[in-house]
Amino acid sequence: MTKKERAVFIDTYLEKKYPETPIPLDHSDDYTLLIAVLLSAQCTDERVNQVTPYLFKKANNPFDMIRLSQKEIEGIIRPCGLAPMKSKGIFNLSKILVEQYGGAVPQDMKLLESLPGVGHKTASVVMAQAFGVSTFPVDTHIHRLAQRWGLTSGKNVKQTEIDCKRLFPKERWNKLHLQIIFYGREYCSARGCQGLTCELCRLLYPNRKHPKKVKKP
């Protein structure tokens, strides 16, 4: 198969396997989604969903969040890891939302990326899942699988995103990035498949004999 043929095959396969793509991070609006995605960096969605009920009970909007101290936030989110950095980001971005945006989350990629603690991937997830803007957020799961499936050289996350956007229809980006994550977690984990075991890897590369080495983000 050519790269384009692989992309079409993957797209069709994943749409059949995951016709529904619920957002894995529990949230009630765009602000709580933003905070949950920020917390998910180097942390599982399951752990984030265990922590956010306690945080959002105290503050589920930027006005209430800045009434907490950074230390209070840090204490609540500690199980998510990187608590000092994440709590600083949460407090400071909430302060900016209150002072500059009337408490609203801006519906603009560059403005989101300018917020403390918000990188390109976090901004992309919020734009896609909160505002319905077509983006293709690339996390470690997608970066790894895109290499195993021959969609990208995997030089870096930025290149993987560019390659995926070129290969897949724009109207599929928001749903497909979740479908890839779901599949990776269930069947094609970092150590569980290595490009040799799961059904999709075997269908795409039936003659592959050795683990597919992937470049880290």
Residue 111 — very low, low, confident or very high, per pLDDT cuts 50/70/90? very high
Residue 155 — very low, low, confident or very high, per pLDDT cuts 50/70/90? confident
Look at domain 30-129 and name its CATH class: mainly alpha
Residue 140 — very low, low, confident or very high, per pLDDT cuts 50/70/90? confident
Q: Which residues are catalytic?
A: 121, 139
pLDDT score for 91: 98
- Exposed/middle/buried for residue 32 (C-beta within 10 Å: 0-12, 13-18, 19+): buried
pLDDT score for 31: 98
- Evaluate if residue 217 carries a pLDDT over 80: no
CA torsion 75-76-78-82 (nearest 10°) is -90
Domain boundaries, the chain: 3-20+136-204, 30-129
- Evaluate if residue 95 carries a pLDDT over 90: yes
Contact 37/176 with Cβ under 8 angstroms? no
Alpha-carbon distance of 32 to 16, in angstroms, equals 30
Q: What is the mean pLDDT of residues 170-183?
A: 97
Does domain 3-20+136-204 fall into CATH 3.40.720.10? no
